[in-house]
Every structure is written in C-alpha cells, then in structure tokens.
Amino acid sequence: MTRQTRTLTLLALAGSTFVLTATAWAQTSKIAVINSPAAFQTSVEGKRAASQFQTREDKIKGDLARIDNELRALETRLSTQRLTLTNEAVVQLQADFDRKTTERKRTEEDATRDYQQFQMNVMQKIRSDMIAIVSQIAQERGFDAVLDVAASGIVYFNQTIDITGEVVRRYDASKAASPQKK
C-alpha cells in the first residue's frame, strides 16, 4: 500500500467515524430551541420593559426638543438683532448659544448612556430569570441542549422542539406569583 493510499484510507476511516459519532449523538440527544427575542417581546415583563424603554426615550426626546427650541430662539435673536445690539450683548448672546449647545450635547450623551445602562440591566434581569426557567424545563424533559434560535444560526428546526411558549407561560406565572418591584 502506498503512502498516499494509506493516507486516503485513514482519512476515509476518520470521516466515517465522525459521521457515525455525530449520527449516534443526534439520535440519542434531545435538543430544544427557544426564540429569546420572541420570549422577551411576548412576556408580560418584556412588554412592561418595552413600555418603560419607550417612556424613557420619549422623555429624552422631549428634553432635547426643549433645548433645541431654546437654541433656535437664541439663534433667531442673534440673527435678527445683531445690528441693533451692542457688541457686549452680541458676545453675551453668542456665549449663551455656545453654553446651550454644550448643554445639549452633554444632555444627549448622559441620557443615552443612562438609557443604555437601564435597558441592559432590565434585559439582563429578564434574561437571567428566563435562563433559570429554560434550565428547569431542560432538566424536566431531559434535554441535552437548548439552543437560542436568535443566536445560534439555526436555519431550520421542527416546531415541536420549540419551548418558547412554555418558557413565557412559566416566566409570566413566576412573576405574577411574586410581588412586583418598581
């Protein structure tokens, strides 16, 4: 047997062993899937969080709109009264405009950072609570793996292995049973 023939034989043997092992694992393993974005969006807590996110976002937009209106008023005053104001008054108006511009930028940066931190904390809390429920379901049903459809790159799966609805039902029930904190 030539060296090339031996190499090809070993590769074929290794390939067939891999296929047989993967096939045996697939036949003996139980897998479930969850669609975490759908679970978040359909759960009571997820809907409440989305409402909180929207309320905070609306407040930020309102605060920025108020500052934008103040900036426009200063800009209008500068452009319409520039010729009638003293140099000191023009310099003062320009300084006010610059301060207001800086205030707007800082307000937007601070609000964005606070909003993102709030959103991350709320989503992480919901996620960790749901993971506990997913683990409980996996143990009860003997699943070897639970894959997240949103993060795993799954292209196709049989809908009978989707536990999203059950996770949401149990999650909502666990939140309804415990006192709510605001």
Specify the pLDDT at position 6.
56
Q: Which domains does the chain have, with CATH numbers?
A: 31-65+111-177 (3.30.910.20)
Beta strands in the chain (DSSP E): 31-34, 145-148
pTM surpassing 0.95?
A: no
Whole-number pLDDT of residue 22? 45
Tokens 């920025």 belong to: 64
Residue 4 has pLDDT above 70, yes or no: no
Mean pLDDT of the chain: 85
Query: In 5-113, where do the E strands start and end?
Result: 31-34
State the virtual CA torsion across 128, 130, 133, 138 in degrees, nearest 10.
-100
Q: pLDDT, tens digit, for every residue of 71-126?
A: 999 999 998 988 888 899 999 999 999 999 999 999 999 999 999 999 999 999 99
Residues 6+ apart with CB under 8 A from 101: 71
Determine the pLDDT at residue 20.
42
* Degrees, nearest 5: CA angle 72-74-80: 95
Question: Following DSSP, what letter does each residue of 138-168 receive, concatenated?
Answer: HHHHT-SEEEEHHHH------GGGB-HHHHH
| Most confident stretch, 3-17, 31-45, 99-113, 139-153 | 99-113
Q: Is the pLDDT of residue 17 over 80?
A: no
For the ranges 10-24, 53-67, 158-172, the maximum mean pLDDT occurs at 53-67
Check residue 1 and report its DSSP letter: -
Looking at the chain, the whole-number percentage of residues with pLDDT higher than 70 is 82
Per-residue confidence (pLDDT) for residue 15, from 0 to 100:
47
Reported confidence tier of residue 157, pLDDT bands at 50, 70, 90 = confident
Question: E strands within 29-182?
Answer: 31-34, 145-148
